[in-house]
Structures are given as structure tokens and as C-alpha cells.
Amino acid sequence: CFIHVANKWKEISFKYDSYKCCKNKCINTNTPIGYCIEGNGFINLIDGENIKYVNCVEGKANTYNRTALIFVENQFNKPKEYFNYSLFYFEIKCKIEEVNNNNNKCLYIGLHNNNDFIEFCADKATIFYSTENKELKLKFPTFSWNDEDVFGCGLIYPPTNKMSEECPYIFFSQNGKQIGRLKLGLTFESN
């Protein structure tokens, strides 16, 4: 059973110190569109569905394209007393602009919950899973991605009467094909 959760981009997070345009946090949830005063590249939340990346000022010393962490408005909540499998899923379509080399192409997609996260990093071809006391990663031996690729992230809960037998799992897709998954009992599987 697919559970529709209407969603939109809500918050530019500074949960981790490295996810900000600069020490001034010029681009933030309250000012989601603009330029970093130090000239660093960073995201702009255009509206609830669209994000544009503004590259760093070319030729200016000590400027960098910075990574951003963005949260959505509504979480995926575990169904209570549900007798079917429950699927939560979202997709993002990438638009690559002005890439000089592959090192500038960076995309992460995934789920975060308190201090735990699981994410797929396209430029490193790796799924990362981190909790307070464990870190795992799965690197794909061959992987490529291009402009207009669509990446998805899904979370599947088994029926509540099977939760003691089956673990929920998270999967990632590229252009509609599953590329890897992680059972929340910490078992990686790749396609």
C-alpha cells in the first residue's frame, strides 16, 4: 500500500557545522534565495519543490561550492496497526549546470532521523548508514549518472503483525530501477 505524504522543501538545516554557505549562514530557511557574502556556492530554495545551486564566485580566492542539508515539511511516520506493507517514496530529478569536472558533481539523497541517517551519494557511488554507535557503507563497483537522472528513496514497513519477523528496509533507485537497499537490521543488498 503506497501512503501518499504531500511534501515540500521546508528547512535549510545547520545540524552539522559543515552544511552552511559560510560562518555567517547568509542563505538560510528565512532567507532561502540569494548569494553567500563570502562568494561560496550554495543552494537556493526557489519554492517548495525546486532547488537551484548557485556556484561559487569564479576567480575569487578561498571560495568553495558548499554542501547543503535540506529537510522536508512532513516525515515518514511508521503506520500503526496496519495489515499491509507500507511504502513511502520520493524522487528528485537532477539538473547539472556548468560542471567543469566530475569532482564538482555532487548529490546526496536519503533519510535522517535524529542522529541516524542513511543516504546515497551519487558522486561517490556509495550508500552510507550511520547511527550513534555504528557506521556502514556500500560502494558500487560500477556506477554513473547524468543530467536529468531521477533518483528515488523509499522506505517499506512490513505489516505490524510481521514486524517481529521482518525488518523495514530503505531502498534507492535511479531512473526507476532499484540500485541498492538496506534492511534496517543492517544488511546491505545491491543490484
pLDDT tens, residue order, the chain (191 aa):
666 677 788 888 877 777 899 999 999 999 999 999 999 988 898 888 888 888 888 888 888 888 888 888 777 777 777 888 888 888 888 877 665 543 456 788 888 877 788 889 888 899 988 887 788 888 988 899 888 899 999 999 898 888 788 888 899 999 999 998 888 765 444 55
pLDDT one-digit tens code per residue, 52-106: 888 888 888 888 888 888 888 777 777 777 888 888 888 888 877 665 543 456 7
Domains of the chain, start order: 7-73 (no CATH), 75-191 (2.60.120)
Query: DSSP states of the chain as a string?
Result: -B------EEEEE-SSTTSSSSTT--S-SSS-SS--TT--BEEEE-SSS-EEEEPPPTT-TT--BPP-EEEESS--PPPSS--S-EEEEEEEE----S-SSGGG---EEEEEETTEEEEEETTTTEEEEE-SS-EEEEE-SS----TT-EEEEEEEEPPGGGTTT---EEEEEETTEEEEEEETTTEEEE-
Q: Percent of the chain having pLDDT more than 90?
A: 22
User: pTM for this structure?
Assistant: 0.79
